[in-house]
């Protein structure tokens, strides 16, 4: 069943974190828990699996060289497509009362691209996206960059351009800066992700419940 009754807006929950912070595991665990409550959950991610997202992945792997400003605009364009495309755009799903969970959204852009450009520029480049849909909740899984780096090294052979320890440290700092900058406009929770996955999952579930069934 949808989370809201007739004519009511759904909820948009976003997960953020540096590479290796355990977002995918936590999204899987949360979706299962919500589905067990008979809620219909749509999970999705950015960069998307669409045309622009696929192009972006080739740039992240280093296969295609790209200027960082152009890459930031591509992410913003991929995001707009994710929101409004006819087939499975998130905006329509939210309007229909669905619960949508997304792995990364515009805070990823603020954190990753402000390594190269002023954060205000990146926020401005995404302003149409923010006007189209602001998350009801952004969950930031905060894990020590050293720990994330170790997890990535253990689990994979191929690395994307941002999967380097100094970049990961910078990105974490940028996330915290972006949260501070936008704290009056956005609902953000920072979850300590250094604990066992089940404990992290419980903390996230409690926060999500406050959004789904406010007291």
Name the residues that contact ligand TMP, by CB under 6 A. Answer: 19, 46-47, 60, 75, 103-104, 108-109, 112, 160, 162
For residue 10, the minimal CB distance to ligand TMP (Å) is 21
In the complex, least distance from residue 188 CB atom to ligand TMP, rounded to whole angstroms: 16
Of residues 102 and 211, the one with the C-beta less far from ligand TMP: 102
Q: Of 3 and 148, which has the nearer Cβ to ligand TMP? A: 148
d(C-alpha 65, C-alpha 86), whole Å: 30
We find the least distance from the C-beta atom of residue 161 to ligand TMP, in angstroms, to be 8
- Per DSSP, 40 falls in state -
Neighbours of 97 (CB within 10 A): 18
Q: Pick between residue 21 and residue 97 the one whose CB is nearest to ligand TMP.
A: 21
Minimum distance, C-beta of residue 108 to ligand TMP, in the bound complex (Å) = 4
- Quick one: which of 182, 195, 78 has its CA closest to 135? 182
Nearest CA to 119 out of 206, 208, 180 is that of 180
Phi, psi (deg, nearest 5) at residue 100: -115, 130
Phi then psi for 51, rounded to 5 degrees?
A: -60, -50
Q: Which is nearer to ligand TMP, 72 or 94 (CB)?
A: 72
- In angstroms, give the least distance from the CB of 2 to ligand TMP: 26
Between CA 178 and CA 165, with CA 103 as vertex, the angle to 5 degrees is: 60
User: If we measure between CA atoms, which residue out of 129, 103, 124 comes closest to residue 114?
Assistant: 124
Q: Which residue is nearest to ligand TMP (CB)?
A: 112
- 34 or 76: CB nearest ligand TMP: 76
């Amino acid at each position: 069943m949808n989370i809201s009754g007739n004519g009511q807006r759904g909820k948009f929950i976003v997960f953020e974190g540096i590479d290796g912070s355990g977002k995918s595991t936590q999204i899987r665990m949360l979706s299962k828990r919500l589905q067990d409550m008979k809620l219909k959950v749509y999970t999705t991610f950015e960069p998307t699996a669409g045309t622009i997202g696929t192009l972006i992945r080739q740039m992240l792997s280093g296969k295609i060289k790209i200027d960082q400003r152009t890459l930031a605009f591509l992410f913003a364009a991929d995001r707009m497509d994710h929101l409004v495309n006819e087939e499975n755009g998130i905006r329509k799903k939210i309007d229909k009362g669905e619960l949508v969970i997304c792995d990364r959204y515009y805070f990823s852009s603020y954190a990753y691209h402000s390594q190269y450009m002023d954060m205000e520029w990146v926020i401005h480049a995404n302003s149409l996206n923010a006007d189209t849909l602001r998350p009801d909740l952004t969950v930031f899984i905060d894990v020590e960059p050293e720990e994330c780096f170790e997890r990535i090294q253990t689990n994979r052979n191929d690395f994307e351009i941002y999967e380097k320890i100094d970049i990961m440290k910078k990105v974490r700092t940028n996330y915290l800066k972006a949260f501070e900058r936008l704290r009056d406009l956005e609902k953000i929770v920072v979850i300590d992700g250094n604990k066992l996955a089940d404990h992290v999952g419980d903390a996230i579930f409690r926060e999500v419940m406050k959004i789904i069934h406010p007291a």
